[in-house]
Structure 1
Amino acid sequence: MPTAPSPRRRPPLVPRTRASCLVALCLILLSPAVAGATTQPRPHPYDSLQQQLEQLVRAPGGPPGVIAVLQDGRSSRVVRAGVAELGTARRPEPHDHMRVASTAKAFSGAVALSLVDRRYLRLDDTLRERLPRLPRAWGSVTLRQLLNHTSGLPDYTEDPTFLATLSANPRHHFDSRRLLDYVADRPLRFRAGTRYQYSNSDNIAVALMAEAATRVPYERLLDELVYRPLDLRRTSLPQGYRLPVPYLHGYEVTPPAPPEDISEALSMSGVWASGGIVSTPADMTRFVRGYAGGRLYGHRVVREQRRWIPGGASEPAGPGRNDAGLGIFRYTTRCGVVLGHTGNTPGYTQLIAATPDGRRSLTFSTTTQINRTMKPGLLARLRVVQENFVCALLR
């Protein structure tokens, strides 16, 4: 932790109080893919939300369980279908643990932007300045470019050596702070800042920059800058493969084979700040309301966060038209705009979204992995259902 911060900085660990495989699965663990239009039967917008979730569970390759939490002020509505664990009658609950997948990138964004607000980091800080041990070819990449996926960093999750290690032992314990070593011999994929391309390496570098700026472990920064201010009591960043109980069981669903429980198949040390967080629908509701609503940092930082890159999509793409900001995405639906993030990992697919003021929110969790590479038709259907939920929220 830094000694004696300058008067212009606030200590990084002081909460802001402003009131305003699985080999095949491993290969696409967090793989970037842009969802396109797919002609599939679409749920009618006037079907009940409950009916739409039940249809999603019954769809070929659909999730064994799904839970959505809609929050409007102090009023909360939970809609769910299926079960939390096959072979039981237990329904998905808001306090069930789950893997949040790439929505963990929003948490690294929250940490980094909180440190920008406290003047421990600047959006124009470069890897050369903060992480000089990384390749010189990457030196000009800025924190801003990491957060909005215009850095050009090669994606370590696509590296053959990383994938071979994961394939040999999905529970292998990686050194999370050395994950970028897998691609340290690679140049940038393009000149930084010239195009958008989603990369899991970006958020590993973000977490390392946060640690370098504060001399505080990323896990502690999460606790002090995000979990405590937003009262997230069931959220953590584990290194292993175990899930706290109770949890939503995640499944590989590939008919005609029976669903396979893969909830604890993979070590989270291999995704760390890019996708390793474990949380609950209730905690994720609190998180996205605070994060999208700008409760963790001031208006100056919020303005920078919301400089949108048209067409920049999260993975998988969220409802409506997607645009990328700093650690957050804008989803423009037929009913209005929400801000948030999506994610998918073996066993789970996530959407968290809230109105720009944070007053209304949607957390939407399914217990199988759905993306364009694996299940393009189901993804198209999922996005329609999610848009209908957003419309119900905004009404």
Structure 2
Amino acid sequence: MSTSRRRLTQGLAAGAACLALPAGLSAPAAAAPSARSSRTPDSAALQAALEALVQWPVAGAVCAAASPAGLVELAAGRRSTASPAPARPQSVARVASVTKAMTATVAFQEIERGTLRLDSTIGEVLPGLWPGRESVTLGQLLNHTSGMPDAVWVLMDHVSLWDLPLEHVRDVVARSYPPRELVELAKQDGWWFEPGTDWGYSNTGYVVAQLMVEAAAGRPLSSLIRDRVFRPAGMHRTRLEEGALVRGAEMEDAAVRPGQTMRLQTIDQSVFAGAAAVNATAGDVVRFYQALMRGRLVGQASVDAMVTPVGAARAAAYGYGIFQVPDPVRAGEVLYGHDGGGFGSASLAVSSRDGSRAMAFTFVGRPYWAAGANEVWPRQTAVLRAAMSLSGTAGRPGGSAGRAAAGAAHAAVGGTRLG
């Protein structure tokens, strides 16, 4: 289980009954929101928590939350560490490994179509891709029990985020990586463990799952996920970015240490491919989880399978592209979602099983030192608690796509993981 996910689970379990905002943060009226598309009594506490999050090293954040009353989308701070331009509720951000649930959804669509199975092997679908590991299954790739090494770890020279030279980060994200090159990079490391015997988070496992899906469907993942996930879920400002394109006023990643800030103005997201390369508004991420949980993207039997940890993945509370965390406001209940660790941002998205309560947030200005991550951590969990505490009127529902009159975003889970 990754450090960041363990912190999330333990922190929520310990604080499920404690919904207070961080010390020093008073009533919502005291907050001066940078940007918002609606403000109601119910979203005021969430706006206040978001404003509290946006203190150095965090430059800006976007957040969306849904309750039975509707959807609110909010923002705080700036889009960039170098610009006074405010973050907007519908600003697009890199959501990193929140992508994994979307890629897993397309994989389960192929399973429902009969072109793949969870026990389909690399050797069956992609003969010759990884000699000696032909028996690794799609299911093991999707729930991180394959033992497949991670190309991102190779590219980072096996150095912890805390010790990584920021110039090296800049160089890594400056070039393009075809999916099969990522596989070849991962091969430079030894296999982590025998398939099915343990749990180890591998972005390259999702790259290989992407290749299996593309082989089965005869189409690239970028078009599959657009047509089968983004469009039916009403995610109109979301894309799987295969290069370094920035469109308009997007949130800008930044890696931050005391005395050093590195703007990552363009990141070639092919380094993550189908593992973590989606750019989206927070509202769109919430729409995804609501559509998924309500059976609009795959059948409910597939959703049940996706949210259920099996085998060695039980220890990590990880299903297929989705992990489980304790509900911070309803004791004994569970939320389903995923976190994301970008090179200069962090994200989190979770949902109740019925999709009636969901949230997503992202912040830019990721701390690259332990004390900074520890300082930001309680602010992130405060945003999560405030988002999942929404009740009553939460803004007007709008449009056939189920939009509301508010903003955008999604937050972050502290730790050293990338992807």
Question: Is the aligned partner of 1:269 residue 2:266?
Answer: no
Once the two structures are TM-superposed, the CA of residue 88 in structure 1 deviates from its matched residue by 5.2
Would you say the 8 A contact 1:310–1:323 is kept in 2? no
Distance in structure 2 (CA, Å) of the matches to 1:267 and 1:326: 26
Among residues 215, 219, 224, which one is paired with 1:216 in the alignment?
A: 219
Once the two structures are TM-superposed, the CA of residue 253 in structure 1 deviates from its matched residue by 2.5
Question: Is the aligned partner of 1:55 residue 2:57?
Answer: no
Among residues 138, 142, 145, which one is paired with 2:137 in the alignment?
A: 142
Partner in structure 2 of residue 10 of structure 1: none
Once the two structures are TM-superposed, the CA of residue 390 in structure 1 deviates from its matched residue by 4.7
Partner in structure 2 of residue 337 of structure 1: 334
For 2:290, give the aligned amino acid: R
Once the two structures are TM-superposed, the CA of residue 201 in structure 1 deviates from its matched residue by 1.0
Distance in structure 2 (CA, Å) of the matches to 1:118 and 1:393: 38
Would you say the 8 A contact 1:111–1:221 is kept in 2? yes
Would you say the 8 A contact 2:110–2:116 is kept in 1? yes
Gaps of 5+ in 1: 1-30, 314-320
For 1:261, give the aligned amino acid: R
Partner in structure 2 of residue 22 of structure 1: none
Distance in structure 2 (CA, Å) of the matches to 1:381 and 1:311: 30
Q: Secondary structure at the match of 1:343?
A: strand
Once the two structures are TM-superposed, the CA of residue 379 in structure 1 deviates from its matched residue by 5.2
Deviation digits for residues 167-211 of structure 1, max 9, x if unmatched? 656321222343101133655311111111111111101100001
Give TM-score, length-normalised by structure 2: 0.75
Distance in structure 1 (CA, Å) of the matches to 2:335 and 2:307: 12
For 2:173, give the aligned amino acid: P
Deviation digits for residues 199-228 of structure 1, max 9, x if unmatched? 111110110000111211111111221122
Would you say the 8 A contact 1:101–1:276 is kept in 2? yes
Would you say the 8 A contact 1:120–1:214 is kept in 2? yes
Change beyond 3 A, Cα 1:34–1:384:
closer
For 1:271, give the aligned amino acid: F
Once the two structures are TM-superposed, the CA of residue 370 in structure 1 deviates from its matched residue by 5.2
Q: How does 1:1-395 map to 2 (within 5 A)?
A: 33-34=3-4, 45-47=19-21, 48-58=45-55, 60-61=56-57, 63-73=58-68, 75-86=70-81, 89-159=84-154, 168=171, 170-184=173-187, 186-257=189-260, 259-264=261-266, 266-308=267-309, 323-334=317-328, 335=330, 336-369=333-366, 375-378=372-375, 380-393=377-390
Partner in structure 2 of residue 6 of structure 1: none
Gaps of 5+ in 2: 22-44, 159-166, 393-419
Deviation digits for residues 304-345 of structure 1, max 9, x if unmatched? 2232259969xxxxxxx9621111111113423221111011
Once the two structures are TM-superposed, the CA of residue 57 in structure 1 deviates from its matched residue by 1.7
Q: How many residues align?
A: 352
Once the two structures are TM-superposed, the CA of residue 126 in structure 1 deviates from its matched residue by 0.8
Would you say the 8 A contact 1:103–1:351 is kept in 2? yes
For 1:83, give the aligned amino acid: R
- Cα RMSD after superposing both structures: 3.2
Distance in structure 1 (CA, Å) of the matches to 2:155 and 2:252: 29
Deviation digits for residues 348-381 of structure 1, max 9, x if unmatched? 1111111111122101111122588684413531
Deviation digits for residues 136-181 of structure 1, max 9, x if unmatched? 3221111111111101001111225988997656321222343101
Deviation digits for residues 246-296 of structure 1, max 9, x if unmatched? 212222232234x443231x2112211111121112221211211243321
Q: Secondary structure at the match of 2:259?
A: coil
Distance in structure 1 (CA, Å) of the matches to 2:85 and 2:190: 49
Give TM-score, length-normalised by structure 1: 0.79
Q: Secondary structure at the match of 2:240?
A: coil
Distance in structure 2 (CA, Å) of the matches to 1:358 and 1:197: 28
Would you say the 8 A contact 1:104–1:273 is kept in 2? yes
Deviation digits for residues 84-115 of structure 1, max 9, x if unmatched? 23565543223211111111111211110111
Once the two structures are TM-superposed, the CA of residue 132 in structure 1 deviates from its matched residue by 1.1
Would you say the 8 A contact 1:105–1:274 is kept in 2? yes
Distance in structure 2 (CA, Å) of the matches to 1:126 and 1:382: 42
Would you say the 8 A contact 1:362–1:393 is kept in 2? no
Once the two structures are TM-superposed, the CA of residue 124 in structure 1 deviates from its matched residue by 0.9
Q: Percent identity?
A: 26
